[in-house]
């Protein structure tokens, strides 16, 4: 379910300088659990997912970049259920039916009792999708602290199951940054198509919108802390059930920094808040980037 839509790439509003090549590798380990039912349908998603993405960007002009991204996916039962249940209890987040099922199992199914709309098996380093994007910096202040950009993207699914039907999806996103003393405020607002297999059309929306707001604060030379909240419109339609077709929202904390002139990095932790919405429960991510001029 979580890979049907064009998942937004949260990033800075800056563009790669003209004539510069940038490449990055991102690893994200997610634990996902969602089990609930209505009078007509049952959904059960219980898995851990490792995404590995490779992205390149090229500064074509002073305010314009082009890029592409490959995403590899590995899914399975995992090993994090016990630890996540422990800290959910510790912080009072709730378990969303997690404690009713065995730990470290795998399921990714959506059924109406007779037809399995979705039944996806585990994968090992499967190619999830290929994306191409372009970003134009529309405005930049003289000191470089305030930036406004627009990014468009095309996603080419490569899944063989019905959840990843071979339809190209498109998105349009606005990105902004404002400097306020020692703080930076980052924002993202966009929308994307989510064209799925015909069998899923009665229960899935054909598009999604998303919004993110982040605060960044320097912690010293080359290191900053970031706190972010993001929300996206639901994909499931017609269930009238908070845990299935409510907007998905996540809270993210992270660190970002640079070492040397060419290298940068970031590390993040993401949790769904509130816990009874259909968002990815838990994700830890690490990214390493390098530029060549």
Residue 280 lies in a domain: yes
- pLDDT at position 38 is 66
- pLDDT at position 26 is 95
- pLDDT at position 242 is 75
Range of the domain at 248: 21-292
What is the C-alpha end-to-end distance of the chain, expressed in Å? 40
Question: In this structure, are residues 270 and 280 in contact, taking their beta carbons and an 8 Å threshold?
Answer: yes
Residue 147 lies in a domain: yes
Task: Report the number of distinct structural domains present in the chain.
Answer: 1
CATH code, 263 = 2.40.160.40
- pLDDT at position 13 is 95
Per-residue pLDDT of the chain (293 residues; tens, 9 = 90+): 555 555 667 899 999 999 999 999 999 999 888 777 666 778 888 889 999 999 999 999 999 999 999 999 899 998 888 888 788 777 777 777 777 888 888 988 888 777 777 788 898 988 888 999 999 999 999 999 999 999 999 988 876 545 555 678 899 999 999 999 889 999 999 999 887 777 777 778 888 899 999 999 999 888 999 999 999 988 877 777 777 778 888 899 999 999 888 999 999 999 888 777 777 778 999 999 999 98
Residue 237: partners with Cβ closer than 8 Å, 6 or more residues away = 203, 204, 205, 245
- pLDDT at position 162 is 52
Question: In this structure, are residues 12 and 177 in contact, taking their beta carbons and an 8 Å threshold?
Answer: yes
Residue 4 lies in a domain: no
Q: What is the pTM of this model?
A: 0.88
Cα angle at 105 between 104 and 111, to 5 degrees?
Answer: 145
Residue 252 lies in a domain: yes
Residue 90 lies in a domain: yes
- pLDDT at position 164 is 53
Residue 203 lies in a domain: yes
CA–CA separation, 3 and 8 (whole Å): 11
Residue 8 lies in a domain: no
- pLDDT at position 138 is 97
- pLDDT at position 159 is 62
- pLDDT at position 203 is 78
- pLDDT at position 39 is 66
């Amino acid at each position: 379910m979580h890979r049907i839509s064009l998942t937004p790439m949260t990033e800075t509003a800056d563009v790669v300088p003209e004539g510069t090549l940038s490449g990055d590798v991102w690893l994200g380990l997610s634990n996902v659990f969602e089990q609930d039912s209505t009078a007509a349908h049952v959904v059960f998603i219980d898995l851990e997912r490792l995404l590995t993405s490779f992205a390149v960007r090229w500064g074509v002009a002073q305010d314009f970049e082009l890029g592409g991204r490959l995403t590899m996916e590995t899914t399975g039962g995992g090993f994090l259920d016990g630890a996540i249940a422990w800290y959910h209890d510790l912080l009072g987040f709730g378990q969303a039916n997690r404690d009713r099922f065995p730990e470290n199992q795998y399921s990714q199914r959506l059924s109406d009792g007779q037809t399995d709309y979705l039944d996806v098996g585990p994968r090992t380093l499967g190619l999830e999708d290929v994306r191409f994007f372009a970003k134009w910096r529309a405005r930049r202040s003289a000191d470089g602290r305030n930036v406004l950009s627009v990014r468009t993207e095309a996603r080419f699914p490569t899944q063989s199951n019905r959840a990843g039907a071979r339809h190209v999806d498109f998105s349009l996103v606005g990105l902004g940054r404002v400097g306020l003393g020692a703080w930076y405020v980052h924002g993202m607002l966009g929308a994307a198509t989510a064209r799925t297999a015909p069998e899923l059309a009665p229960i899935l929306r054909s598009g999604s919108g998303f919004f993110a707001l982040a605060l960044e604060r320097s912690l010293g030379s080359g290191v900053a802390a970031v706190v972010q909240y993001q929300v996206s419109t639901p994909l499931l339609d017609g269930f009238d059930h908070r845990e299935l077709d409510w907007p998905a929202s996540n809270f993210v904390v992270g660190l970002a920094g640079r070492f040397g002139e060419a290298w940068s990095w970031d590390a993040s932790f993401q949790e769904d808040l509130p816990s009874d919405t259909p968002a990815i429960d838990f994700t830890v991510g690490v990214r390493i980037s390098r530029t060549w001029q």
